Every structure is written in C-alpha cells, then in structure tokens.
Structure 1
Amino acid sequence: MIKKESIVIEIQVNVDGTQIFKTNSIDLWPIIVRVMNSLDALPFVISVFVGKGKPTNLEEYLRPFLEELVALQSKVLKFKGLTYSIEISSFVCDAPARAILKVITAHTEYFVY
C-alpha cells in the first residue's frame, strides 16, 4: 500500500481598512485570504466589518474567521484521496490594521490614563 502525504495549504491573511465614501465616516474592514502555494489562486474575502471607524470590538471582528480556521485545522480534510491541512503563512497589514490586531496604540495615536 502506498502512503499518501498530507498537502499543506498555506494561507496569507490580509486585514486592512478603508473609508467607503469621502463624505461620511463609514469604513470597510475586510479580512482577505490568499492561498500561497497555488499559482492561480486569487485572493478572496472571508469576512467584512462595516461601520463608523475601525472595529472597536476585536473579538467580535475576528471571531467568525478564527472559529472557521480552528474548525478547518481540527478536522481531517480529504478530497480525491488526498489529505489536506491548513496553516497560516503570514499576516499582511498596514500600520493601523497591525496596531488593531496587536491591541496596541498606533504610531499616530496617544494613550491617556
């Protein structure tokens, strides 16, 4: 019997925010994923926050993505006789998004006690 190896699907996660219109304060904060070890895979949207400003509740913003990721990583994924696993390769974020994910004060902000 030939033992088949597991194929690792490496994903890159992008978090970024943008203002939808210049005339109001509605922001769009998508979580976008790209499969790194596939040459023809396009980025796709996993989740989106829409609201005034940046997400204030980080747990609420990330929970659906993290629950799905944990579920996919804890199950054995099989397709056409091959076994797959999912790993995060990297997070790609600009400075404001990185500060939100790290729960730190951004370089343009200040903290008041």
Structure 2
Amino acid sequence: CGQFGWCNGTGAGVHAQGSLCKGNTFEEGLRILALETGQTLHAVNLLLQHLRMHSHPDLPADARTLLKPPSATTKEREIVPIPGGVKRCLQLYFSSSTPPDSGFCVDFIFDGLPLYKSSKKQFWPILMKIHNMPQLPVMTVAIYSGELKPVFVEDYLRPFVIEMNELQTKGLENGGRMYWVSIRAIIADSPARSYIKGKLII
C-alpha cells in the first residue's frame, strides 16, 4: 500500500498507510487515485462531473470535498497564521531601529518537517529571509500543523498571497516611513514546489 489509503481490511473508514484495498468504497478509491497520481483540482472536478452524470450521482460535486481525508479534523489540520504575517515580522524586528535600506527584497522558504520520528504530527512553515539584509535572522510568517500535509493550497497560501499583493502594491509603513517590498525568490524542494504551484503531490 502507498502513502494515502483509508481502510482497515473491514471496510471501515480510517486513515492508514495504504493504497487501494478491498475495503475501499468507490469514493475512497477515487480519492486515493487523485492524491497518488498528482491530479489537479480542475481534473478531479471534471471527472466528478462525468461520473455524477452517468453512474454515481451520490459523489460530491467538488474536488475539495472528495479529497478531504475522512480522518482529518479541525484539530488535525490546522493553519496557524502569525497575526500580520510578513508585515508584523518586519515591524516587530525594526520597532526600535531603522532598516538599513529603502526596501525589502525577500525570499520565502516552504518545506515540511516531522516533529518526532514516532509521530505523524508535522509542520509546514512559511519562512522569510531578507536577501538584501543578510544579517537579519530567518523569520516565521505562518505555520501549518497537522497529521497530514495541507491538502488545499488555497487554505495554506491565501492569507500569505493577499498580504504580499498588498505589500508589493502599497509598500510597508514603519516609523513614519514607507519601504518597498519585493519577492526575489520562492525556495522549495521538488515536492513542495509542485504542491504550492497547485498540484496535489502530497
């Protein structure tokens, strides 16, 4: 069995390290297929639309509903944003000093890491490094925590995207002065890069 499966040999829906098993329902099989083959939400929506029209009207109409793991609860899948994110990190760091430049050229790092070898719990932080101020420490913008990687890119990235669009358009105010903010690079390994580009390679 592969990474994603929900069967225990009796047909009961539980999260397990498994692939397609005899106990899977048709819907569970579709979920595993979509996750393990890296299907986009658009592709899964088209498949669901076709199946609902021809043979399975009971399937969910939206891919996000299908792909939500049955064992995932609010507690198990939690986005932990740092209030204010990028803006708050920079303003707190420079609350008693002045930035040495007129703006911030920033790198963002995306990666996942397990907490313990014996635990499924893991973190997916969004980290920020100021490229034109290398003496500054790496800062934490947001953290996802849960027993699964964040299934929905929208949940994980939307607050970050909204804030960065605003900062790049309007700039950052600190100590009565305005500073420009620009993204230089998004740094991620291949699985994380595919994930944040919108593909379900989890």
TM interval, short-chain normalised: 0.7 to 0.9
Q: State the 1:76 CA deviation.
A: 4.3
Structure 1 runs (4+) greater than 4 angstroms displaced? 78-82
Normalising by structure 1, we get a TM-score of 0.77
Structure (1 or 2) with the greater helix fraction? 2
Question: Residue 112 of structure 2: which of 5, 10, 17 is its match?
Answer: 17
Percent sequence identity over aligned pairs: 28
Report what 2:145 is aligned to. Answer: 50
Q: Spell out the pairing of 1:27-106 with structure 2 (5 A cutoff).
A: 27-79=122-174, 82-104=177-199, 106=201
Q: State the 1:91 CA deviation.
A: 0.7
With CA pairs under 8 Å and 6+ residues apart, which has the higher RCO, 1 or 2?
Answer: 1
Normalising by structure 2, we get a TM-score of 0.45
Structure (1 or 2) with the greater strand fraction? 1
Q: Which secondary structure state, in structure 1, belongs to the residue aligned with residue 158 of structure 2? A: helix
Q: State the 1:105 CA deviation.
A: 5.8
CA, structure 1 residues 81+45, in 2 after alignment: closer, same or farther (shift >3 Å)? Answer: closer
Report what 2:103 is aligned to. Answer: 8
Q: Deviations over 1:20-57 (max 9, x none)?
A: 11112111000000000013111100000001221101
5+ long unaligned stretches in structure 1: 1-5
5+ long unaligned stretches in structure 2: 1-100
Q: Which secondary structure state, in structure 2, belongs to the residue aligned with residue 84 of structure 1? A: strand
- For the 8 Å contact 2:121–2:145, the answer to whether it is kept is yes
RMSD: 2.2
Q: Which secondary structure state, in structure 2, belongs to the residue aligned with residue 21 of structure 1? A: coil
The aligned length equals 102
